[in-house]
Amino acid sequence: MREIPEDLFEIRGKRLGSRLFLGTGKYGDDALIPDVCAASGAEVITVALRRVDPDAHTGNVMDHIPRTMRLLPNTSGARTANEAVRIARLARAMGCGDWIKIEVIADNNYLLPDGYATVRATETLAAEGFVVLPYVNADLYVARDLVSAGAAAVMPLGAPIGTNRGLQTREMIRILIEEIDLPIIVDAGLGLPSHACEAMEMGADAVLVNTAIATANDPVTMARAFGEAVRAGRLGFLAGPGAQRMRADASSPLTGFLGGDGA
Amino acid sequence: MHVIINGKPEDISLGTTIQKLIEAKKLDPSRVVAELNRKIVPGDQFQETKLQEDDRLELLQFVGGG
Amino acid sequence: MSFAEVMNAYAGLDIAKAIQGCQRQDVIRALNKDRLRPEDLLALLSPAAGNMLEDLARRAAQVTLRQFGRAVQLFTPLYVSDFCVNRCLYCGFNAAQAGPRRQLSLDEVRAEAEALAATDLKQVLLLTGDARHKATLEYLEGCLGVLRGYFPSLILEIYALTTQEYVRLIAAGAEGLTIYQETYDQDRYARLHPSGPKRDYAFRLDAPERGCAAGMRWVNVSALYGLGDWRLDAFWTAMHARWLQDRYPGTEIGLSLPRMRPHAGGWQPDEPVSDRVLTQILLAQRLYLPRAGITLSTRESPTMRENLLPLGVTRLSAGVSTSVGGHGATKTGTPQFEVADNRSVAEIAAMLRGRGFQPVFKDWQPF
- Please give the pLDDT value at position C85: 80
Using one digit for the tens of pLDDT, what is the confidence trace for C314-337?
999 998 888 888 777 466 667 777
Alpha carbons within 13 A on the beta-carbon side of C136:
7
Question: What is the rounded distance in angstroms from the CA atom of residue A123 to the CA atom of residue A113?
Answer: 16
- Please give the pLDDT value at position C264: 52
Q: A90 CB near a chain B CB, below 8 Å?
A: yes
Using one digit for the tens of pLDDT, what is the confidence trace for C71-87?
999 999 999 988 888 88
C222 CA: distance to closest CA in chain A (Å): 23
Query: Do residue A255 and residue C29 have CB atoms under 8 angstroms apart?
Result: no
| Max Cα-Cα span within chain A | 86
Question: What is the rounded distance in angstroms from the CA atom of residue C266 to the CA atom of residue A31?
Answer: 84
C156 versus C35: the higher-pLDDT residue is: C156
Q: Which of residues 147-206 of C touch A (CB under 8 A)?
A: none
**CA neighbor of A177 nearest in space, from A117, A234, A123, A105:** A234
- Please give the pLDDT value at position A1: 54
Query: Do residue A60 and residue B58 have CB atoms under 8 angstroms apart?
Result: no
Using one digit for the tens of pLDDT, what is the confidence trace for B31-61?
999 999 999 999 999 999 999 999 999 999 9
Using one digit for the tens of pLDDT, what is the confidence trace for C102-149?
889 999 999 999 999 999 899 999 999 888 888 999 999 999 999 999
DSSP bridge pairs for A113: A105
Query: Do residue A179 and residue C61 have CB atoms under 8 angstroms apart?
Result: no
**Domains annotated on chain C, with CATH:** 65-360 (3.20.20.70)
The domain B2-60 is classified under which CATH number: 3.40.50.620, 1.10.620.20, 3.10.20.30, 3.90.550.50?
A: 3.10.20.30
Question: What is the rounded distance in angstroms from the CA atom of residue A253 to the CA atom of residue A125?
Answer: 59
**Domains annotated on chain A, with CATH:** 10-241 (3.20.20.70)
DSSP bridge pairs for A136: A156
| Residue C10 identity | Y
A164 versus C18: the higher-pLDDT residue is: C18
Candidates C26, C37, C55, partner chain A, best to mutate (most A CBs within 10 A): C55
Question: What is the rounded distance in angstroms from the CA atom of residue A172 to the CA atom of residue C83?
Answer: 50
Using one digit for the tens of pLDDT, what is the confidence trace for C172-195?
999 999 999 999 999 999 998 888
Neighbours of chain A (3+ CB pairs under 8 A): B, C
Among residues A19, A64, A92, A101, the one annotated as catalytic is A101
Q: Over its length of 263 residues, how does chain A's per-residue pLDDT go in tens digits?
A: 566 567 889 999 899 999 999 999 888 889 999 999 999 999 999 999 998 887 766 778 888 999 999 999 999 999 999 999 999 999 999 888 999 999 999 888 888 999 999 999 999 999 999 999 999 999 999 999 999 999 999 999 999 887 888 999 999 999 999 999 999 999 988 999 999 999 999 999 999 999 999 999 999 999 999 999 999 999 999 887 654 544 555 567 888 888 764 44
Residue C270 has pLDDT above 80, yes or no: no
Question: What is the rounded distance in angstroms from the CA atom of residue C268 to the CA atom of residue C271?
Answer: 9
Residue C260 has pLDDT above 80, yes or no: yes
- Please give the pLDDT value at position A150: 97
Q: Verify whether residue A26 is a known catalytic residue.
A: no
| Residue A227 identity | G
DSSP string, A56-115: T----GGGGS-TTSEEEEB-TT--SHHHHHHHHHHHHHTTS-SEEEE--B--TTT--B-H
3-state SS, one letter per residue, for C39-95: HHHHHHCCHHHHCCHHHHHHHHHHHHHHHHCCEEEEEEEEEEECCCCCCCCCCCCCC
Residue C200 has pLDDT above 60, yes or no: yes
Q: What is the mean pLDDT of chain B?
A: 91
Tell me the pairing of strands A155-156 and C315-317: unpaired
The predicted model gives C219-225 an average pLDDT of 96
Q: Give the one of A241, A249, A253 whose C-beta lies nearest to C29's C-beta.
A: A241
Residue C349 has pLDDT above 60, yes or no: yes
- Please give the pLDDT value at position C21: 93
**CA neighbor of C42 nearest in space, from C8, C10, C13, C18:** C18
Query: Do residue A263 and residue C311 have CB atoms under 8 angstroms apart?
Result: no
Question: What is the rounded distance in angstroms from the CA atom of residue C274 to the CA atom of residue B1?
Answer: 94
| ipTM of predicted complex | 0.88
- Please give the pLDDT value at position C253: 97
For residue A250, give every residue at least 6 positions away whose Cβ sits within 8 Å of its Cβ, in sequence order, or none: none
Q: What is the three-class DSSP state of C185?
A: coil
Q: Provide the percentage of residues in chain C whose pLDDT is more than 90.
A: 70
**CA neighbor of A84 nearest in space, from A62, A106, A69, A51:** A106
**Buried b / exposed e along C316-355 (16+ C-beta atoms within 10 A):** bbbbbbbbbbbbbeeeebbbbbebbbebebeebbebbeee
CB A132 within 8 A of CB A106: no
- Please give the pLDDT value at position C241: 98
What backbone phi and psi angles, to 5 degrees, belong to C62?
-60, -50
Q: Provide the percentage of residues in chain C whose pLDDT is more than 70.
A: 96
Q: Do chains C and B touch (3 or more CB pairs under 8 A)?
A: no
Tell me the pairing of strands C315-317 and C153-157: unpaired
Candidates A51, A74, A135, partner chain B, best to mutate (most B CBs within 10 A): A51
Q: C62 CB near a chain A CB, below 8 Å?
A: no
The predicted model gives C18-22 an average pLDDT of 94
Query: Do residue C29 and residue A240 have CB atoms under 8 angstroms apart?
Result: yes
- Local confidence band at C99 (pLDDT 50, 70, 90 cut-offs): confident
Question: What is the rounded distance in angstroms from the CA atom of residue C191 to the CA atom of residue C199?
Answer: 9
> How many CB atoms sit inside 10 A of residue A137's CB?
16
